[in-house]
Every structure is written in C-alpha cells, then in structure tokens.
Structure 1
Amino acid sequence: MFDALAERIQSTLEKFGRKGRIDKETLEKGLREIKLALLEADVNYKVVSNFISDIREKALGAEVVKGVNPAQQLVKIVHDELVEALGGEEAKLNLKNKPAVILLIGLQGSGKTTTAAKLANFLKKQGKKVLLTSADVYRPAAMLQLKKLGEKIGVPVFLEENEKDAVKISKDALKKTRDENYDVLIIDTAGRLHIDEELLEEARRIREETNPDEVLFVIDAMTGQEAVNIAKAFNDAVGMTGIILTKMDSDSRGGVALSVKGVTGKPIKFAGTGEKIEDFEQFYPDRVASRILGMGDVVSLVEKAQQVIDEREALSMQEKLLSGEFTLEDFRQQLRMIQKLGPIQQIIRMIPGLGSQKVLKQVQQAIDDKKLKRIEAIINSMTPEERRNHAIINASRKRRIAKGSGTSVKEVDALIKQFVQMKMAMKQMRKMQKKMAKRGRKFPFPFF
C-alpha cells in the first residue's frame, strides 16, 4: 500500500545520509521532496503542512546526540512524525462492558460485511463469545453473505430476514445477546453508494437504541482522499470511536491511513490486509511507520508466526535442519509454513534490512510466491523415496520430475543444488552451535 510513498521518503533520507551535517538549505530541499511525496500519495493538505512544519521545527532545534549523525537523527524525527500522523499509540477496543456492542458503519462497497466476520473471528480467537447480526434491510444478499461467513468461522448470526426495520433488528439482536450471555454483539449496518440523510438518520437511531461501546467506520483504502471526507461526514453526523481500514494490501497510495486521524480525530483500530478471513490485524502506528521507512516489523512477524505455525512442528523442523536429517519432504513442509504467513512480499517487508524499497525489489526478483509454488510442484512430482533421498535422482528421474511439475530439468537441477548447499550450511551452523555450547554460550537459531 505504501510502496510509492516509502520509495520516495527512503530515497530522500538516503541523500541526507551521505552528508556529514544538515544545514537549513539542505533540509528545506529534503522537506520539499517529502512534501511532494505525501501530496502525491493523496494525503490531506492540512495534515501534510503540519507534518512538514513539525519535522522542520524538530530538525532545526534538535541537539546533536553524540555517536548519532544528523541523518540518523532526521530519520528518527520523520519516524516519530509518521507515528503521530498514523494515530500515535495503538488504539484498543473498548470491551469492558458485557455484552459489548460494536456498530459498523460506512458506505456500500467498503467491505463492512466481510469486516464484520473478520472482527468476529479475531475476537473469537481471543476467547470471546460473539454474536453477529445484519441490520442491512436494503441489500438482499447482505444477510445471506453474513450468514455464510458466520458458518465459515463458527460464529452464530442473528437474522430477521422478513423484518424491514433495521433498528428493531438491532434491538432484538441485543436482547438475544443479553439473554444468552454473549460477550460481544457486532452489528453490520446498511451502506449506500453515497452519503444521504436517510442513511445517517438510520445509523443515528441504531446508535441511540443499542448504545454501542464502539462505533467503527469501515473505510476502503483505495477510495483515496474522498474516503477521508466521507469519514468526517459520518463522524460529524453519527459519531464514531475508531476506524477500520480495508484493502491495506492494495496498491493504493496510502493517503487515507496518513490523513484520517488528522481529519476526524479518530484512530485506526484495525486493518484488513487481504481477502482471507485471517487477513485482519490490529493497527500499530509505530510498526506501520517502521515499514514505510524500511526498518521492518519483527514483532508483527513473530506474532503472525505464533498464530499460524505450530511451535512443536517448528522446533522439530529446526532440530532436523541442524542435525543434517533434513529431507526434501521436510523442505516442502517448511515452504508450506512460510506460505501460511501470507504473501512473501509482506513477509520480506517485516524483516529488518530487507524492508527498504531497493533491497525489496532485488529480493522480489529472486523469489516470489509463484517461484515458491513452482518449487513445491517440483517436490510434489518426486516419489516419496526421492524426497527422502535426493542422491538417487539421476538424469532420467529429473526429466520425469520436470515433466510432471510443468517445469524444466534446469529448474529441477537448481532446486537440488540449492537444497544441498542449504544442508551444508546447516552442518556448519551445527558445528558452531556445539563450539559455543562448550563455552557455555547459547547459539541463537533464527527459525520462526
């Protein structure tokens, strides 16, 4: 989502890194480039002006820290200002009351219904007993869509399909929530293709009758600056406590994320990062700022790994790697673990040192999701015996494997060569581990 913006800002900051000191003239040139980058990313003009003004003030007034060059200080200032523009501290859901009521509002097409299911799934994983309901009485498929999504994630959905009063549906759902001791009720409301008074009035009435703990505006990141104006209109008319940003995995310019807090005063609480139900996460301004500046995001990567990868399986794989018993069968399992984390580009962005746009492009040229799938196809075309003992794979076997996987003999050769090199590297790592163990030191093996 922030690729173009990240590339411009990183390129500008790299120029400062080549200078021993930063004078006022140099700073102003850099700030002009950052300002243009933000405006081209469709960030609100007022937000941009405040952002640049704050950087200028802090950069010119910053005391020189011993051991830290001026360019590093500037990166720190830009990072802090990005965090502030994105909302400052992490904004958590208010779930103190039981039952807690969460009202989702927004325009049609923003992804409210899917987001309702994603949020329900997120809360269910936290041990919450969740009930979903649809108060969209205008779009015939809305209730059916929510029902199917609820079945998919194992969360009950309260529906009154013949009822035409959205407020009554919401009140009845709240009664069921209380009667059956649910922890959270999520209400999916109707949207329109544009703002109208009828839509706003209905949302206001539902809010008055259900007294929600959270009113979350669902906003499509691809809508651009207009989405921020819509969010402000909803906030002024209905009131909201936070924002959920959808389609953060898109190639949109990122202006919504950087503008919405400054314009509405409300924080982004969650972000949809893909089409799958699991592609939904809490929004951490500091982590997103680090990604924009190419600093990576190890914390999010570790959290994601803990959610989708079995710890015992990972430790078993680590032991096999270090012991030299690692086979192509194990390698295939490792690839599947990596794919569970999401698109390889997202993973790379979270690794410190690989998050910069220059390195990112180089890594993407060397490896992507399609290449991972081709590697898995090659291994799948091998017999169990070949996967367990790659040494028996001769020329005729390679031709058969290539034909079966829709690849070339050259690709099969390359995979086996890389696998052998990896095994040799693991043996060296094992020796190093033993040496350090003799000295009473633990060798940190970076595996998930």
Structure 2
Amino acid sequence: MFQDLSSKLDKAFQSLKGESKITDVNIAETVREIRRALLDADVNYEVAKQFTNDIKDRAMGEDVLTAVNPGQQFTKVVHDELTGILGQERVDIAVADTPPTVILIAGLQGSGKTTFSAKLARYLKQENNRSPILAAADVYRPAAINQLKTLADSIDVPVYSIGQKDAVRVAKEAVSMAKSLALDTVIIDTAGRMHVDEKMMNEVAEIKEAVQPDETLFIVDSMTGQDAVNTAREFNETINYDGVVLTKLDGDTRGGAALSIKTVVQKPIKFVSTGEKLDALSPFYPDRMSQRILGMGDVVSLVEKAQKEFDEKEAQELQKKIKSDSFDLEDFYEQLQQVKKMGDLSDLVGMIPGAGQALQDADIDDDSFKPIEAIICSMTPEEKHNPDILNATRKRRIAKGSGTRVSDINDLLKQFKQMKKMMKSFSGMGKMGQMMQGMKGMKNKLPFGR
C-alpha cells in the first residue's frame, strides 16, 4: 500500500543525505518535494500545505544531535507529523455499558460495507470474545442480504433479515433479538447508493434515531482518493458518525484518502481492510502506518500476527532444525501454510523494514506459491525429507503430477538450498524474519513466481 507515496518521499529525503547540518536551503528543497509527493498522492491541498509548513517549522527548530545525521532527524520529524495527521493514537470502537453494543455501518454502494460488517463480526468474535449478530438492513438489494448470509455462515454468526423493505424495522428487531438471545453485539449493514442522496441519508439517520447506536462507522473506499474524503464530509454533516474505516487499502498506492480524512472530518480512522478475505481486517494504528509509509516497516504488527498463528513450542523445534541443517521441504511447506494464515502476503512483506521499497515492483500474492506447493505435494515423504535423491525419473514424475516442468523443480531445489543457507545466516532476525526472507528469495527467482 502507498507504494508511490513511499517511493517519492524516499526520493525527497535524498537531498539531505551526506549533509552535515539542516539548513534553510536543503530543508526548503526537501519540503517542496514532499508537498509535491503529497499532492500527487491526491492528498487534500490544505492538508498538504499545513503538513509541510509544520515540518519545515519543526525541522528548523530542531537541534541536530551529534549522533544523528540530518537525514535521520528529518525523517523522525516527518514521521511524527505523519502520525499526527493520521490521528496520533489508536481509537477503539465504543462498548455499551449494558449489552448489546449496537454498531451502525454506513457508506456508498461498492465501498465494501457488507464485507466489512462480516469482517468486523469475525474480528470481535475472535479477538474480543464477543457474540455478534448481523442485521441485513440493506433491504433494496437481495444480493446484499444473500452475500451477508453467506459470509456470516462461514464465521458461524447469525443474521437477522425480513422479507420487507423496511430497514428501520430490521435494525430495531435485530437489537431486540440480540437481547432475547443474550448476544452482546449488533452490527447493522445499511443500504448504499452510487452517490450521496437525500433518501439514503434520511434512512441512515432514521435508523440511527431508532436504535441509538453506540458506534457509527463510515466505510470509505480508499482508492477513490479525494472523492472519498468529500463523501465522508457530507455524511458526517448529516449523521455525525464516530469513526472511519478504510477499505481496499491493499490496492491504494497513493494514500490521499488516508492522509486527508482525519484532518478534514476530524474523526479517527478505526480499522483498515486490505483484502477480500474475512481475516483481512486490522485496527488502525497511526504510528505504525506512518512507519510503513516511510519504509520503516511495521514489525510490531508482524509479530502480533505471528504470535496468533505460530505455536512457541513448534517455533523452537523449527529453530533447532534450522541450526542442525535438518530443515526439509515438508517443514517448509508447513511453515508456508502458517504464514499464509497470517493474511495477505504482500501486506506481510510490507511490514518488514525496507522490504516494501525493495519489492515494490514484485507481484507477491498467495497464488504465486501454488506451483511450489503443487511440486512439494507431488513428492513422496522420503523425497521431501531428502531431496538429494531426486533423479531425472523422479523429477519427471513430480513434474507430471504437479503440472510443472522439470526445470521448475530444479529451480525450486536450487533456491531451497540457498534459502536454507540464508536462514542460518539470518539467525539473529528470529524465525519469522528467516521465513519471510527465504520465501521472498524463492518467489522472485523461480520462473513461475514472477
């Protein structure tokens, strides 16, 4: 995400490299490049202007420390200011004193409201041990109700719907059902349209008045840039929502909406969505996002994801295998499955410091590893444990069974050997760092991984 902006900001910082001190001249040049990068990213003009003015004022007021070069100190200033316009601190959703907590979801059609509603239900159920129910208040599109039911079935969450076009009734009765079933959270998915209109606004306002939600979230398609910000402003003036959710952030290389919306509407960003899978939802941390934009990665989020999926005992066994050089293709396959559970692979790579910039042109996704998985699955247990026994006959059999070529198998074996050496050399990085480094190398060098 935000690859274009990250790249341009990195270029802007180049003018400070090699400088012995911060001066009016080098700061002015750098600030001009930053403002240009922000405007190219579709950041609101007033936000970009104020942001760069604040950076300049802070940078010129800083005493350059002897242990820190001007480039590093200026990057710290930009990081702090970025964190500020993104919201400064994490703001969680409200919880009712007396259950159920009612959460109202609003936004334009196509912004991802229905999918987000299911994602939020899953998140609250798994992360907060909540018992949610979904209310299908998008009563004008049968497909929306069916979609919500399908998504809810996959996470074992109930859905309340009726056969009438009465969204207010759906919302009120869903709250009543939650009380009768002792469910502690109601998530109301409302209707959207292609553009803001009075009818849609009035309906959302009526639902809000009827159920008095504890939290109202506005869903924003981050790829629409300033259009999203303008829509967010109009919605806020009418329904006065509590927070913003940015969807489709994985496809947003510019970042205009994310960097503008907090300042323009004065409402915090509470969640970000980075894919279609129901686990592709994360709480929004301004400081972590600022680090990612500046190419610093997000190690904290990466570790948090890893801790949820990786068993500590298994991790210790893996470390032993790496040190004893007994890590084999079956171990690699198992670890690949664990890493894939953590979420979108390109998003994970972006959390590794420096990797986002280094691999910004690489096409990294879970499908890229399907040929690798097919090859390994076509091997016998003996071949997985000892790939050195793979002769020409065995390779032809594996290639036929996996739908690949013998040359692909040779490339995999070659890269696997190199990966094992690299993993041992990166022993100080920890287990996740080793695995990600190894997979990046294999993915970029294998012909079918490009």
Q: TM-score, normalised by structure 1?
A: 0.90
CA RMSD after TM alignment: 2.1
Instruction: Give the letter for the 1:447 counterpart.
Output: K
What's 2:162 paired with?
160
* Contact 1:133-1:173 within 8 A present in 2 as well: yes
| Deviation per residue, 1:288-310 (Å, 9 max, x gap) | 11011110111111111223334
- Name the CA shift for 1:425/1:353 in 2 (closer, same or farther; >3 Å): closer
- Name the CA shift for 1:178/1:368 in 2 (closer, same or farther; >3 Å): closer
Paired residues for 1:3-402 under 5 Å: 3-97=3-97, 98-125=99-126, 126-162=128-164, 164-355=165-356, 357=357, 359-361=358-360, 364=362, 369=366, 371-402=368-399
Report how far residue 369 of structure 1 moved. 4.8
Q: TM-score, normalised by structure 2?
A: 0.90
| Deviation per residue, 1:120-173 (Å, 9 max, x gap) | 0000002101111011222222222211111111111111223x2211221111
The SS at the match of 2:250 is coil
- Name the CA shift for 1:70/1:405 in 2 (closer, same or farther; >3 Å): same
Aligned equivalent of 1:419, options 416, 419, 442: 416
Partners of 1:256 and 1:137 in 2: how far apart? 29
The SS at the match of 2:413 is helix
Report how far residue 361 of structure 1 moved. 4.2
The SS at the match of 1:270 is strand
Overall identity of the aligned pairs, in %: 50
* Contact 1:131-1:158 within 8 A present in 2 as well: yes
Report how far residue 275 of structure 1 moved. 0.6
Partners of 1:334 and 1:196 in 2: how far apart? 50
Moved more, 375-384 or 411-420: 411-420
| Deviation per residue, 1:380-414 (Å, 9 max, x gap) | 22222211222221232223333433434333233
The SS at the match of 2:251 is coil
Instruction: Give the letter for the 1:20 counterpart.
Output: S
* Contact 2:21-2:64 within 8 A present in 1 as well: no
* Contact 1:215-1:242 within 8 A present in 2 as well: yes
* Contact 1:381-1:404 within 8 A present in 2 as well: yes
What's 2:444 paired with?
none
Partners of 1:400 and 1:93 in 2: how far apart? 55
Partners of 1:135 and 1:419 in 2: how far apart? 51
Which 5+ residue runs of structure 2 have no aligned equivalent?
433-450
- Name the CA shift for 1:410/1:147 in 2 (closer, same or farther; >3 Å): closer
* Contact 2:4-2:253 within 8 A present in 1 as well: no
Instruction: Give the letter for the 2:113 counterpart.
Output: K
- Name the CA shift for 1:186/1:344 in 2 (closer, same or farther; >3 Å): closer
| Deviation per residue, 1:318-374 (Å, 9 max, x gap) | 33333333222112212222222334332222112323x2x2248x48x87555333
The SS at the match of 1:245 is strand
Partners of 2:341 and 2:84 in 1: how far apart? 32
- Name the CA shift for 1:395/1:24 in 2 (closer, same or farther; >3 Å): same
The SS at the match of 2:249 is coil
* Contact 2:15-2:29 within 8 A present in 1 as well: no
Which 5+ residue runs of structure 1 have no aligned equivalent?
430-442
Partners of 2:59 and 2:49 in 1: how far apart? 15
Partners of 1:368 and 1:148 in 2: how far apart? 25
* Contact 1:296-1:352 within 8 A present in 2 as well: yes
Partners of 1:53 and 1:447 in 2: how far apart? 42
What's 1:446 paired with?
430
Instruction: Give the letter for the 2:31 counterpart.
Output: L
Partners of 1:124 and 1:195 in 2: how far apart? 32
Paired residues in the alignment total 430
Instruction: Give the letter for the 1:101 counterpart.
Output: V
What's 2:443 paired with?
none
Partners of 1:408 and 1:394 in 2: how far apart? 14
Report how far residue 51 of structure 1 moved. 0.4
Partners of 2:80 and 2:61 in 1: how far apart? 15
* Contact 2:280-2:344 within 8 A present in 1 as well: no
- Name the CA shift for 1:196/1:361 in 2 (closer, same or farther; >3 Å): closer
Partners of 1:146 and 1:426 in 2: how far apart? 43
Paired residues for 1:396-411 under 5 Å: 396-411=393-408
Partners of 1:210 and 1:330 in 2: how far apart? 52
Report how far residue 426 of structure 1 moved. 6.7
* Contact 2:275-2:344 within 8 A present in 1 as well: no
* Contact 2:395-2:409 within 8 A present in 1 as well: yes
- Name the CA shift for 1:68/1:427 in 2 (closer, same or farther; >3 Å): closer
* Contact 1:221-1:252 within 8 A present in 2 as well: no
